[in-house]
Structure 1
Amino acid sequence: MKILMTGGGTGGHIYPALAFIDYVKTQDASAEFMYVGAKRGLENKILPETDIPYEMLEIQGFKRSLSLGNFKTLHLFFKSVRDGKKILKKFQPDVVIGTGGYVSGAMVYAASRLKIPTIIHEQNSVPGITNKFLARYVQAIAISIPQAASYFPTEKVVLTGNPRASQIVLTKKSDVLTQFGLDPAKKTVLIFGGSQGAKKFNDVILASLSELAQKSYQVLYASGERYFAAFNQQKIPKNVVVVPYLKNMQDILGNIALLVGRAGATSIAEFTAIGLASILIPSPYVTNDHQTKNAQSLAEAGAAVIVKDAELTKENLITELDSLLNDSKKLAIMAEASKELGHPDAAEHLFKVVKEVLLHH
């Protein structure tokens, strides 16, 4: 079986694709893969660290206002479709799977024109422009959150979950927190504003240090490289650890009691796979406010508390942390609700969709 994966721009599009590839390798040792990403995307840093053959196309997104740049966007899209067809004819995949981003739009569209079976995977509760565009051309649409189904043709939709969950669920309890000087026996909250960090998070944590020092629980805060220096002149409490970045996020998630962070689809897939309670602060800077809708699906199930970005203060954060970390019963109920929303078999379900599409092609 030859599978071409395409998606890029952000980790939310890339990591599910890589997780799916890892799973298929365990099921079919003879499977071959190709990854097609965008030259400007995060995939340029991630793919070279893997053994997956890849190609990068030059493409960019549409501006939301009238702009001459949109003419260049159209030119690059059609050029990418032409270049994509060349890649497809050379690799000759049995199926093409798009996980989002503009490069996915060009590649999946090109594959459909060549009559190659196509599938898209939507991670969020509200689809982006690319997957809405591709919906009419593909054979199947895999979704991670049930609320996304209403945006697509019913007969094409399959709820699979996010393949990233299939990797995280393998996480075991360990002493990984000792690497940060923390006590594995104490309740620990991870606060994480995304790979680049978030200024609002940083300001609030800086203001909260003296109060956090009085708590019985521990705090591990990933600030992001750009905000880390702000802590150099601060007196950091013994129960608070600040790091610029966490490379071993998968291991850490399996050893904490609570997560405070944004509501990106891949993050949600990760912590629901193992059943973590969360305080979610949706980013107000994303398309269609989809993070708020992602978070609402958890809050409605009793798995998360939502704090609006504009309302995040030292007082609100400390209140919510105390409310959960000082109430083991409440925390356990939320954790169980979170686990019920998880899709630990997501990669397996997506692979079944692939087989079904190929069977009927």
Structure 2
Amino acid sequence: MRVVLAGGGTAGHIEPALALADALRRLDPNIGITCLGTERGLETRLVPARGYELQLVPAVPLPRAITPQLLSVPGRLAGAINAAAGIMDRVQADVLVGFGGYVATPAYLAARRRGVPIVVHEANPRPGLANRLGARLTDHVFTGHQNTPLPRAEHVGIPLRREIVGLDRLSVGDKARSWFGLEADLPTLLVTGGSQGARSLNQAALAAAPVLRRAGVQVLHVIGPKNTLEEEPPPGDPQYVVLQYVDRMDLAYAAADFALCRSGAMTCAELTAVGLPAAYIPLPHGNGEQRLNAEPIVQAGGGLMVDDADLTPEWIIQNVLPILSDPERVVTMSEAASRMGRKDADVTLARRVLQIAAEGRGR
């Protein structure tokens, strides 16, 4: 069996694809997996690091408005389609699974040209252009959000890494806090703006640090790999640990009692899978999907939500600190968050992909 995965650009497209790849390999160790990407995406780093073959096709971003660039799109897209079709021919693809991003559009069209079965997975409540196109070319459409408006869509959740879905926060909490130099018995706040960080979260959390410390709360603050703080928190107890990047987010989740974070689809899926309550601050620009990601969790009691413009040190002190100071409320919110999580999306989607590929072979 040979599977081609197309998802690139951001971690939100790549990580679900890699989680699916891991699940496929667990179900069938002999399966052939090839990932499609472009040279401008994070996949050039993430895919080889996970041990999967990466083949590149030209990136063809579509202009959002009528500009002279639009005239070059058909020719460039044709080249990308030919490149994707050539890769599918070489690996003798049995099925294509697309997750969105620049690479997905030519991959869908190439698969349609070659008669390769197409599977679409859309993680967000508002599908992107590539997946809206892909959903028109297949009956096999799966979503990470219950209300994603795609035809014939089946909600399965978002495929997540095994180290996340298999995490038992209670059993490894002490080890995780020790890993980051934190005390084992103090309430802990995790602050993270996602893979790139978020300046507004960084500034508000740092300004709230003195009050959090006086209340006995320690902080694990991931500021983002390209960010710096204008002023480092002064040394003292409880600890306020600042890191630019964490490659063991499972341990960061295990160390924390509560999170202050953005509400991207992957973040929401991971936090609910591990049962970590959070205060969600949706990205203030874009199409509003980050608010849609967090709303069901907040409505279920697994988190809070505040607009980016309203996030201040005072808001953290008035809303997050009381939760961290109330262990029973933390437990209640953790349970509510956990009820919203899906831990089986990787295996569920992998089984469906294998089934679809087998049916395509039988035709």
Bin for the TM-score computed over the shorter chain? over 0.9
2:310 is matched with 311
Aligned counterparts of 1:75 and 1:210: Cα–Cα separation in 2: 58
* Per-residue deviation, 1:31: 0.7
1:152 is matched with 150
CA 207–73 in structure 1, closer or farther in 2 if over 3 Å, else same: farther
Structure 2 counterpart of 1:330, which letter?
R
1:100 is matched with 100
* Per-residue deviation, 1:331: 1.9
Aligned counterparts of 1:40 and 1:249: Cα–Cα separation in 2: 25
The answer to which of 251-260 and 17-26 deviates more is 251-260
1:200 is matched with 200
Aligned counterparts of 1:138 and 1:60: Cα–Cα separation in 2: 22
1:295 is paired with a residue whose SS is: helix
Aligned counterparts of 2:66 and 2:119: Cα–Cα separation in 1: 31
Output one character per residue of 1:19-71: Cα deviation in whole Å (capped at 9) or x when no partner.
Answer: 11111211111111000011100111212323211111221422323322333
Given that residues 119 and 140 in structure 2 are in contact (C-alpha distance below 8 angstroms), is that contact kept between their aligned partners in structure 1?
yes
The answer to which of 67-76 and 56-65 deviates more is 67-76
1:220 is paired with a residue whose SS is: strand
CA 118–255 in structure 1, closer or farther in 2 if over 3 Å, else same: same
2:279 is paired with a residue whose SS is: strand
1:58 is paired with a residue whose SS is: coil
Q: Which runs of 5+ in 1 are unaligned?
A: none
Aligned counterparts of 1:129 and 1:213: Cα–Cα separation in 2: 46
CA 55–359 in structure 1, closer or farther in 2 if over 3 Å, else same: closer
* Per-residue deviation, 1:329: 2.4
CA 289–236 in structure 1, closer or farther in 2 if over 3 Å, else same: farther
Given that residues 117 and 139 in structure 1 are in contact (C-alpha distance below 8 angstroms), is that contact kept between their aligned partners in structure 2?
no
The alignment status of 1:161 with 2:157, answered yes or no, reads yes
* Per-residue deviation, 1:92: 1.1
Root-mean-square deviation (CA, aligned residues, Å) is 1.7
1:85 is matched with 85
1:125 is paired with a residue whose SS is: coil
Q: Which runs of 5+ in 2 are unaligned?
A: none
CA 236–109 in structure 1, closer or farther in 2 if over 3 Å, else same: farther
Structure 2 counterpart of 1:135, which letter?
A
The answer to which of 55-64 and 338-347 deviates more is 55-64
Aligned counterparts of 2:16 and 2:82: Cα–Cα separation in 1: 26
The alignment status of 1:295 with 2:297, answered yes or no, reads no
Aligned counterparts of 2:177 and 2:73: Cα–Cα separation in 1: 46
* Per-residue deviation, 1:165: 5.6
Structure 1 counterpart of 2:80, which letter?
S
2:34 is paired with a residue whose SS is: strand
Aligned pair count reads 355
1:135 is paired with a residue whose SS is: helix
Structure 2 counterpart of 1:191, which letter?
V
Structure 1 counterpart of 2:133, which letter?
F
1:327 is matched with 326
1:345 is matched with 344
Aligned counterparts of 2:69 and 2:328: Cα–Cα separation in 1: 54
* Per-residue deviation, 1:123: 0.8
2:103 is paired with a residue whose SS is: helix
1:273 is matched with 273
Output one character per residue of 1:126-179: Cα deviation in whole Å (capped at 9) or x when no partner.
Answer: 21121112111023111111011xx1113xx22211111644121243212213
1:213 is paired with a residue whose SS is: helix
Aligned counterparts of 1:181 and 1:166: Cα–Cα separation in 2: 25
Aligned counterparts of 1:306 and 1:176: Cα–Cα separation in 2: 26
1:241 is paired with a residue whose SS is: strand
Aligned counterparts of 2:249 and 2:59: Cα–Cα separation in 1: 30
Aligned counterparts of 1:223 and 1:237: Cα–Cα separation in 2: 19
Q: Percent identity of the aligned residues?
A: 30
Output one character per residue of 1:78-121: Cα deviation in whole Å (capped at 9) or x when no partner.
Answer: 21111111111111111110111021121122102211111011
Given that residues 40 and 58 in structure 1 are in contact (C-alpha distance below 8 angstroms), is that contact kept between their aligned partners in structure 2?
no
* Per-residue deviation, 1:237: 4.1
CA 357–328 in structure 1, closer or farther in 2 if over 3 Å, else same: same
Aligned counterparts of 2:156 and 2:264: Cα–Cα separation in 1: 17
1:163 is paired with a residue whose SS is: coil
1:226 is paired with a residue whose SS is: coil
The alignment status of 1:59 with 2:59, answered yes or no, reads yes
Aligned counterparts of 1:109 and 1:332: Cα–Cα separation in 2: 48
Given that residues 188 and 220 in structure 1 are in contact (C-alpha distance below 8 angstroms), is that contact kept between their aligned partners in structure 2?
yes
Given that residues 212 and 237 in structure 1 are in contact (C-alpha distance below 8 angstroms), is that contact kept between their aligned partners in structure 2?
no
1:246 is matched with 246
Given that residues 165 and 273 in structure 1 are in contact (C-alpha distance below 8 angstroms), is that contact kept between their aligned partners in structure 2?
no
The answer to which of 94-103 and 198-207 deviates more is 198-207
User: TM-score scaled to structure 1, two decimals?
Assistant: 0.93
CA 184–76 in structure 1, closer or farther in 2 if over 3 Å, else same: farther
1:22 is matched with 22
* Per-residue deviation, 1:180: 2.3
Structure 2 counterpart of 1:332, which letter?
V
The answer to which of 32-41 and 220-229 deviates more is 220-229
1:230 is matched with 230
